[in-house]
Amino acid sequence: MNKYIAKILNGLQERNAGEKEFLQAAEEILTSLEAVVERHPEYERAALLERFTEPERTVMFRVPWVDDGGNVRVNRGYRVQFNSAIGPYKGGLRFHPSVNLSIIKFLGLEQILKNSLTSLPIGGGKGGSDFDPKGKSEGEVMRFCQSFMTELYRHIGEDTDVPAGDIGVGGREIGYLFGQYKRVTSKHVGVLTGRGLSYGGSLVRTEATGYGLVYMVEEALARRGESLENKTVVISGSGNVALYACEKAQSLGAKVVAMYDSDGYVYDKNGIRLDVMKEIKEVERARIRVYAERVAGAEYREGCRGIWQIPCDIALPCATQNEIDGASAKSLVQNGVKYVAEGANMPTTLEGIEVFQKAGVVFLPAKAANAGGVATSALEMAQSSGRMFWSFEEVDAKLKGIMVNIYRNMENAAREYGMEGNYVAGANIAGFEKVAQAMMAQGIV
């Protein structure tokens, strides 16, 4: 391994011991950049990778709130402002009990390169809390969001840092967060994206990550003379990304046969009834097992891992990190999977990626494949600052153009560095090159 990269990886392990998700993401990225740092010895002299892997700023804070029973609860809030070389920090907020500094830092690091790949002027950041919205009343969710924003507001702004949603943060939470931001600052500005259409949001933002994912798969198929028509698709998760990936895949002729939530999965050999799934997940906020009670012929199985045993042509992991390990990747390959595109962030372990790449599966990594969400967030920012509102068709066409462009850029970068077909390396290199140029131009900061 290149000596500079090895030194950085060792240093990261010492300084961030125990941050396993962050170290995993850093390893995946840095091991792709050997040829780049060899071509640019000036990067080492400028300690570019030392700076790239150290967040510009990390904020951790107390979030106290009162539950419906009158009990005082305390959660921990985070915002990691990782890199602002190419634009204001941009990235989602995750509310999930598993959230810790390692998870927020891995997401922030990935976000830097993802945002660079969109070609839009956005830096990388991420935040969230170990708050669990599941099972909480509307009032509890609102009071939590208000308390969270009462601290976060002083660290963000429409030209400095613009959060959005992620796991556990959807339109409802963005609404409460925005309301509190406006209340304490008196400013109605584009400080959050994913806002409702009645108060500054953009058309297509809700659908963007899932649609963008499928647009990229469509491009990858088209390059090989294929299409989504009659392809069998398995999607993990049943949240924002999964639902709209399902919608777009179905509209392009694919058959989605399985989806899951954190309790278990449903298998519907006739193809998932998306209207029923949306009603259960978006309206009732109920568990996925209800789907099998309502749709004849559908089966529910407890536990998530079994979903990767289902034969499919295309797998779209859209739930969370490390949901496909080496063993699950092997069973997908044995059952004939040809394309894997990551809707979630880092859903495949390093071993899993190796299994797919060795088997010749077309593997489209998260920072490229799920960039449609943040790209459309940047389009929302443009509309906010320009006081404009674009039509659905306009935003959707821009989203599609961005996804095709990302595909081509990562393909070209992989080829240029002698790793044709390795989209992991291609995405890392294409994303990193622009950030590196911007950091070099801005001096030692």
Q: Footprint of ligand NDP on this chain (CB under 6 A)?
A: 165-168, 170, 209, 237-242, 261-263, 304, 318-320, 343-345, 370, 373
Using CB under 6 A as the binding rule, whether residue 374 contacts ligand 2IT is answered as: yes
Q: Compute the C-alpha angle 321/323/328, nearest 5°.
A: 150
CA dihedral sign, ordered 196, 197, 199, 201: positive
d(CA 57, CA 30): 21
Q: Which is nearer to ligand 2IT, 164 or 355 (CB)?
A: 164
Phi and psi for 46 in degrees, rounded to 5? -90, 10
Least distance (Å) between residue 72 CB and ligand NDP: 25
Name which of ligand NDP, ligand 2IT, none residue 90 binds, using a CB cut-off of 5 to 8 Å depending on partner kind. ligand 2IT
Task: Give the 3-state secondary structure of 50-65.
Answer: HHHCCCCEEEEEEEEE
Asked if residues 229 and 249 have their Cβ atoms less than 8 Å apart, the reply is: no
Exactly one of 101, 103, 164, 353 binds ligand 2IT (CB under 6 A); that residue is 164
d(CA 339, CA 334): 13
Binding of residue 383 to ligand 2IT (CB under 6 A): no
Work out which of 55, 77, 88, 91 binds ligand 2IT, going by CB under 6 A: 91
Binding partner of 332, given ligand NDP, ligand 2IT, none, CB within 5-8 angstroms per partner class = none
Adjacent-strand bridge partners of 324: 348
- Of residues 128, 26, 19, the one with CA closest to residue 75: 128
Nearest distance, CB of residue 211 and ligand NDP, angstroms: 11
| 193 binding ligand 2IT? (CB under 6 A) | yes
| Residue of 406, 49, 346, 428 lying closest to 419 (CA atoms) | 428
Q: How far is the CB of 8 from ligand NDP (least distance, A)?
A: 25
Q: Considering the rule CB under 6 A, would residue 90 count as an interface residue with ligand 2IT? A: yes
Bridge partners, 74 (sequence order): 64
Judged by DSSP in three states, 395 sits in helix
> Which of ligand NDP, ligand 2IT, none lies near 409, with the C-beta cut-off 5 to 8 A by kind?
none
* 193 versus 349: smaller Cβ distance to ligand 2IT: 193
Active-site residue flag, 126: yes
Q: Closest by alpha carbon to 443, among 4, 37, 55, 85? A: 85
Query: Least distance in Å: CB of 94 to ligand NDP?
Result: 7
DSSP structure class, residue 104: H
- Write down the least CB distance from residue 149 to ligand 2IT, Å: 16
Q: Closest separation between CB of residue 268 and ligand 2IT, Å?
A: 28
Selecting among 90, 105, 114, 126, the annotated active-site residue is: 126
Find out whether 377 and 162 touch, Cβ atoms under 8 Å: yes
201 binds ligand 2IT (CB under 6 A): no
Q: Is 410 in the site for ligand 2IT (CB under 6 A)?
A: no
Kindly report the backbone phi and psi dihedral angles of residue 181, in degrees, each rounded to the nearest multiple of 5, phi listed first.
-60, -45
Residue ranges binding ligand 2IT (CB under 6 A): 90-92, 111, 114, 164, 166, 193, 345, 373-374, 377
Instruction: Return the active site residues.
Output: 126
